Amino acid sequence: MTMSSFSFADGALSKARFATITSHTAGVVFTYHGSNPTALSGHAIPAGGTIQVQGNANVNALRLIRSSSTDATVSITLEG
């Protein structure tokens, strides 16, 4: 996953109770407690996989990295 800048609509992140994360093209590793994920620590989402993170604090603390040398396309849908 090449780091790119993105943002959510005004107020969407502060109101979000759930985040649905889909990794479309390659695997990623994520954390939701504020620490940076590594290849050895975090939760894996395989290519084509989807997970849901619950709780506003967890959604706001999400961090993702690619799990291999292949960049990943990821979509995140916030629900409040």
Q: Which pTM was predicted?
A: 0.85
76 close to 63: Cβ distance less than 8 angstroms: no
User: What does the pLDDT read at residue 11?
Assistant: 86
Predicted confidence (pLDDT) per residue in 18-72, tens digit = 999 999 999 999 999 989 999 889 999 999 999 999 999 999 999 999 999 999 9
User: What does the pLDDT read at residue 9?
Assistant: 79
Q: Is the pLDDT of residue 1 over 90?
A: no
